Structure 1
Amino acid sequence: MRILLVEDNRALAEGLSTLLRGSGYAVDVVSDGASAHAVAAAESFDLVILDLNLPEMDGLDVLRAMRARQNRAAVLILTARGTPEERVKGLDLGADDYLIKPFDIGEFEARVRVLLRRQAGLRASVVSYGNVSLDLTSRSFSSAGMPIEIPARELGLLELLFMRAGKVVAKDAIVQSLTGLDDDLSPNAIEQYVSRLRKRLAPFGLTVRTARGIGYYLDKTAGPE
């Protein structure tokens, strides 16, 4: 899942981006409204975390421009402007949620998870495919109640494939979901992650299949390709 964090408080931006990246999300950070407007227009994100008091362009104007372009990324407004009028205006312009500063980190993480789950079209907090379950709250995988240990980058890939189980996910979509603007994830690196995932999933009756020239998909039938 890819997130755009728009925050002009450097310390807060660094803290939140570190937290989100530690959870396996690809995160891009910008500190002013004009940059947010440009990046949101050029790139695709699952979630935009948007401050309102921004230099160069107000956050509500960024949001208004996003929705005018039919940009359907989830938007979490994160701001000290917490009057009822401000909240109503933000929600009416198309924000999905509103969190007032200062806020509890646990609540912030929960709201991020809920919005990303909604973006993926999932309502339940636990989804299953074959013998494997994904807990969307803790972002952890298990089988028969036993945890499956997966490193962060592979976790992001499996989460993406799992939420689209049985459907082909294009290589470009994988790169976009797993990397930020400053990252460099080559096709060879993706193949390495896929190879590792196959080995980890083999005991649980799942595998990652290759759709030649297109991408990858999760399959219940383990076996050679």
Structure 2
Amino acid sequence: MKTVVRSDGAKDMTKNKRKPGRMSEQRRERIRLEISREAARLFWEQGVAATSGEQIADAVGISVRTLWRYFRNKESCAEPVLVQDAEEFVSVLRRWPREISLEEHLTTWVTERPKDPDTQAYDQAVIRMTVLANTEPALRSAWLMANDQVEREFVEIIANRLRRPTDDLEVRMHAAAATSVLRVISEDISAALMAGADHASIKNSKPLERMADAVRVATDGVLGDPVEP
């Protein structure tokens, strides 16, 4: 409640009203992401077929009716974590300075990235969905759609880096090749982690260097190194 003093000295009590728009949309996305993370956990622990919409709703603390307002079916619950992962990676690529290599840029990002429980839970959900996508067709569709989003954004990023038009065939081919090798390496790392590999051994395998080198090979050395300012 907010108190407003009128010109005649009297006090007028009015309710604070939340403005519709951005904040409500942010809250909606937070809820979708929370549902997605719980769905990822249940899909991993029980399998997609054995997991019901009721179980996902119970895990989040919402009604089944509310769940279906956010998602068209239980499999689509996997989409938000994968979409957010794709959007985060695209954002990282857009910030890639021209004067440094891809592995340098990715190393800086990983070093500075938050390591709080919420981020770790999100990463775990992405890893689980990435692994399950290899055996679950419905989840595979969501995973490939997320990678398609990365590829489309990559076209603009590569075109800008090479100072070439976005409709250049070679630019589009570089984007497709780079996205594919990054997807394969992500799948390999995720599978190793979920099979029990510890983070130290994964780190020792220098995954960021592997990614950068794979991009160089896939694009015939055009992408991965510093370019002229």
Fold match by TM threshold 0.5: no
Q: Specify the structure having the higher radius of gyration (Cα).
A: 2
> Which protein has greater RCO, CA pairs closer than 8 Å, 6+ apart?
2
TM-score, structure 1 as length reference: 0.30
- Structure ranking higher in helix proportion: 2
TM-score, structure 2 as length reference: 0.30
